[in-house]
Structure 1
């Protein structure tokens, strides 16, 4: 187990290039996500957290913790990056924020009802086995509890096209491989088409340039400098503990 303070960072930890290096821009990105509420509706359908204990695994700066607190009985955030913990702990809503990781969750056995992992840790690929994290989540889940992993749909939507142009599957796994990997674990996968909608065109440019720093998005960005929205497909992997 890891401590809840700023010590004990896992040896294999690496800082995320987006939120870890650009927390202010990532805040803008989070504000743009799914303003339609379509992903939130599907998350609630798959594994309701009202009056339950929910764990935001890889909570980052804690952007989503106050929203969980609107319905949940107890909200816990776990984050491996020690530099993001203070921001997460400062969020309103009363969540408990702990220093840990997917493989080292500092909670007792069978202590939570729902775990959400939003673009955190679970990127199955032939060179990246995420089984240890699944096993640790199952340890802390109560019977009939649920893990829901929020990931990218790599096939549909404008963001999927940007991922393909950047060859993101070389690092995070190919879409069909990921779906099969989760199916082998006993999970189901559902897809939701939503969007990122920004207040200003420059916000979209800044966030997309952060996510694709190698320039693969430049042509798409220059094709419509005034755009504030792009279609974004989500893949939700749902694993229930028996």
Structure 2
């Protein structure tokens, strides 16, 4: 299980800023809209939605990251909460947005029900498409960690639109891309394993198991040896209309 209070997720959040801008633009936020940023992290989405004139509510399971978001965004409501148990009334929000956050839910069905329950307008959330070099490298680490910890790997694949349709019914699907850069694959992986909460969790489990050097070498090979590293990853933006809106 990932402890999102660890490390420095701020690094990754900076890389994801273009995706946040894309999602907020697609959301069609208007002055006075109530917006829930679900899994706000450092507040990428919340900050942009606030600039668009929205009334912001942000939740995250990490108290540390929530304080980072609060300091960045300023005015709004900030609560420690998980997607599976949202402390809000039915149909509370014009927009519910989640940038690569709900995909970490341990109970996808509950998370989907909660999103539908609190949305009176529409919800937009992102998930990585399971293709490309970055997916290959992180998949190697994730599968090895699950085997070492004897836990299921990818119990629910948010990167499969058909799976998401089973949770939400009718959805809009858009594919987008984002590019990650680093001086080298080695430096990128080093930052991931020492600063990203998930990378730190992978490293800890595999180090205890004794497999980390071998698995790390496989992940590094998957990223390639280009200098500088430049990897483009694709992701989906899913849009769900509130059932109450129709």
- TM-score normalised to the size of structure 1? 0.73
2: CA distance between counterparts of 1:222 and 1:163?
13
Extract structure 1 runs of 4+ deviating beyond 6 A. none
Where do residues 5-24 of structure 1 align in structure 2 (5 Å cutoff)? 16-17=2-3, 19-22=4-7, 24=8
Q: Does 1:162 align with 2:127?
A: no
Shift of 1:162: 1.9
Which deviations, in whole Å up to 9, do the C-alpha atoms of 1:129-167 show, x marking residues without a partner? Answer: 41211111222111xx11222111102x32222234335
Aligned to 2:220: 218
The one-character-per-residue Cα deviations of 1:18-39 (angstroms, maximum 9, x if unpaired) are: x4321x2x211121236xx466
1:168-216 deviation per Cα after TM superposition (whole angstroms, max 9, x unaligned): 5952246588422211221233221221245x55863434434364514
Equivalent in the alignment of 2:179: 195
Q: Does 1:29 align with 2:19?
A: no
Q: Identify if the C-alpha distance between structure 1 residues 194 and 146 changes in structure 2 by more than 3 Å, giving closer, same or farther.
A: same
Conservation of the 8 A alpha-carbon contact between 2:179 and 2:233: yes
Structure-2 residue corresponding to 1:134: 112
Mapping of residues 1-242 of structure 1, within 5 Å: 16-17=2-3, 19-22=4-7, 24=8, 26-33=9-16, 37=18, 40-41=21-22, 44-45=25-26, 47-51=27-31, 52-123=33-104, 129-142=107-120, 145-155=121-131, 157-166=132-141, 171-173=153-155, 175=157, 178-184=160-166, 185-186=168-169, 187-198=171-182, 201=184, 204-209=188-193, 210=196, 211=199, 213=203, 214=212, 215=216, 216-220=218-222, 223-224=225-226, 226-242=227-243
Residue 228 of structure 1: CA displacement? 4.4
Q: Calculate the aligned-residue CA RMSD, in Å.
A: 3.0
Change (3 A) 1:59 1:227: same
Aligned residues: 214
Contact 1:54–1:72, Cα closer than 8 Å, also in 2:
no
What's the CA shift for 1:61? 3.4
Preserved CA contact (<8 Å) 2:13 2:42: no
Change (3 A) 1:197 1:122: same
Residues 216-240 of structure 1 deviation map (CA, whole Å, 9 limit, x = unaligned)? 422245723x424321111222211
User: Partners in 1 of 2:158 and 2:94 — Cα distance?
Assistant: 28
Once residues 80 and 53 of structure 2 are traced to their aligned partners in structure 1, the CA distance between those partners, rounded to angstroms, is 21
List alignment gaps of at least 5 residues for structure 1.
1-13
Provide the C-alpha distance between the structure 2 equivalents of 1:221 and 1:206, rounded to a whole number of angstroms.
Answer: 13
Between Structure 1 and Structure 2, which shows a larger proportion of helix residues?
A: 2
User: Unaligned regions of 5+ residues in structure 2, if any?
Assistant: 147-151, 204-211
**2:5/2:62 contact within 8 Å kept:** yes
